[in-house]
Amino acid sequence: MARVYNFSAGPSMLPESVLTKAAAEMLDYEGSGQSVMEMSHRSKVYQGIIDQTEALLREVMNIPDNYKVLFLQGGASSQFAMVPMNLMTGSGKADYVITGQWAKKAYKEAARYGKANVVASSEDKTFSYIPKLDPATFTPDADYFHICMNNTIYGTVYHELPETGDVPLVADISSCVLSRPIDVSKFGMLYAGAQKNMAPSGVTVVIIREDLLGKAMDITPTMFNYQIHADNGSMFNTPPCYTIYVMKLVLEWIKNDIGGLENMQKINEQKAAMLYDFLDNSKMFRGTVVPEDRSLMNVPFVTGDEELDAKFVKEATAAGFVNLKGHRSVGGMRASIYNAMPVEGVEKLVAFMKKFEEENA
């Protein structure tokens, strides 16, 4: 069976070697005589898996020792509530930058629990840029400052972080985690759903500085309290065992096959440059984001003609390039080129786009 080139925004491609390994270990994980799907999460062998996953993530991302790593459920969307419930308890204020639908959802949820302040928004131009931020407009005594680092739907990314001083910076990195090195020490907290760049759906990783734990509101459900999960090694209840195991395989792939995040970044830059160069030189296709804020991971583009867009998506699908239809709020196309998309997949897509342009000129 031929595998397609899958440009889905999420859940998205996994490295083929990870799928092969998972398949090989399906019936018998390392001589245990069981699938990881069947194991007690309290067993020694499973404890080994979750411990190795955390150790690999700490190594690959270079996470400082004063940060906890939590494996949670409920998606990145649950973090929109967990962040304010756990952190918005000093002044009861927090700053938000609205750079897309995920950032907006995070803001709206926070506004239910305290004074959420919109520092800036790029909604005026369909979120096609990252707003310039002026620290003079930030709330000096905010409990935290929230950004969505890579905007999956619109294809923008922060190339520079806001200067928030002593106010902890909190970032949703769901669609850029593991795509390049990131200085964790610049953040109070990071969170990411797994299904873009880490694993299948089902687990959300939280990386939180220890001094930010233990401040949750009284009304916080036990399952929403970071401290509870930190105290219980992410095993207060049954964790998403199999998803965490696949994350371990993905991290091993990044460490051993790719050679770490510096190399991952080089490959991702190479892929993105190929696609953006083509878009910048095409007479038919164009990118929708201002060049200085372009994402390495999500590349939206249009022809400017809805019928031609639909024809392109249809013919691309038939040729084995799937999930290229843009998000319903932007239209056009979007190619998500996460870590697992091979260079060859982007090369072939660009060749296909060239051919389509010639045939439809």
Ligand X SMILES: *Cc1c(COP(=O)(O)O)cnc(C)c1O
Active site positions, annotated: 102, 172, 196
Q: Which residues pair with 151 in a beta bridge?
A: 156
Angstrom distance (rounded) from CA 88 to CA 81 = 10
User: Which of 88, 147, 148, 250 is close enough to bind ligand X by CB under 6 A?
Assistant: 148
The nearest distance, CB 293 to ligand X, in angstroms, is: 15
168-176, 180-188, 211-219, 226-234 -> range binding ligand X (CB under 6 A):
168-176
With tokens 């990411």, the residue in question is: 192
Task: Report the half-sphere exposure of 12 (CA within 13 A, side-chain side).
Answer: 27
Nearest by Cα to 93 from 73, 109, 113: 113
User: Which of 6, 174, 268, 323 is close enough to bind ligand X by CB under 6 A?
Assistant: 174
Taking the least distance from each CB to ligand X, the nearer of 75 and 260 is 75
> Binding to ligand X (CB under 6 A): which residues in 79-118?
102
User: Which of 99, 152, 156, 336 is close enough to bind ligand X by CB under 6 A?
Assistant: 152
> Binding to ligand X (CB under 6 A): which residues in 47-86?
75-77
Cα dihedral 6, 340, 99, 159 sign = negative
Angstrom distance (rounded) from CA 142 to CA 56 = 33
User: Which of 5, 10, 12, 147 is close enough to bind ligand X by CB under 6 A?
Assistant: 10
Taking the least distance from each CB to ligand X, the nearer of 128 and 152 is 152
Residue 77 C-alpha from the chain's centroid: 12
Cβ-contact 215, 87 below 8 angstroms: yes
Nearest by Cα to 69 from 229, 250, 255: 229
The nearest distance, CB 128 to ligand X, in angstroms, is: 16
The CB-nearest residue to ligand X is 75
The nearest distance, CB 184 to ligand X, in angstroms, is: 18
Taking the least distance from each CB to ligand X, the nearer of 105 and 115 is 105
Taking the least distance from each CB to ligand X, the nearer of 39 and 148 is 148
Question: Per-residue x/- marks for ligand X, 188-217, CB under 6 A?
Answer: -----x--x---------------------
Q: In sequence order, which residues have a C-beta less than 8 Å from that of residue 131 and are 6 or more positions away?
A: 97, 99, 120, 121, 122
40-48, 172-180, 244-252, 303-311 -> range binding ligand X (CB under 6 A):
172-180
Residue 330 in tokens: 């932007």
Taking the least distance from each CB to ligand X, the nearer of 175 and 243 is 175
Binding to ligand X by residue 175, rule CB under 6 A? yes
Residue 69 in tokens: 């790593």
The nearest distance, CB 105 to ligand X, in angstroms, is: 8
Q: Which long-range contacts (CB under 8 A, 24 or more apart) does 130-134 make?
A: 130/99, 130/156, 130/157, 130/158, 130/159, 130/293, 131/97, 131/99, 133/97, 133/162
- Which residues make up the interface to ligand X (CB under 6 A)? 10, 75-77, 102, 148, 152, 172, 174-175, 193, 196
